[in-house]
Amino acid sequence: MKKNLSNEVRKAYLNVLNSEKKIHAMHKVLKAKEMQVEMSQESLKLDLETSRNLLNSIKDMYEAKNNYLIAKYDFILSKLNLKKTAGLLSVDDLRYVNSWLN
């Protein structure tokens, strides 16, 4: 029983680490997509690109932003799960997360 709990805590901890890495990766993608939009806007001003390409860049940027927010959400859930699995989840933790949602 104790070994099983230890394995569950370890899994939860690894999920937190993976979630954190994913946040950083998705943030880099988002920054790249934001730069792409800026470049597309400048290219459009110079008639080097079509408005369709700009719209596609904007769409890609919003998809990247959505993926970044999902990664942040997954990180929060994995951190709460780690605390729950380790028996450290408190009412204050839940209040803190709830304050983000209001």
Tell whether 76 is covered by a domain. yes
Please identify every stretch of the chain with a pLDDT value under 70, giving residue numbers as ranges.
none
Tell whether 1 is covered by a domain. no
Tell whether 84 is covered by a domain. yes
Total number of domains constituting the chain: 1
Cα gap 83→90, rounded to integer Å: 8
Domain span at 38: 25-96
What pLDDT sits at residue 70?
A: 97
Tell whether 4 is covered by a domain. no
What pLDDT sits at residue 30?
A: 99
Cα gap 9→44, rounded to integer Å: 52
CA 29 and chain centroid, separation: 11
What pLDDT sits at residue 3?
A: 83
What pLDDT sits at residue 14?
A: 98
Tell whether 88 is covered by a domain. yes
Tell whether 34 is covered by a domain. yes
Tell whether 14 is covered by a domain. no
What pLDDT sits at residue 100?
A: 81
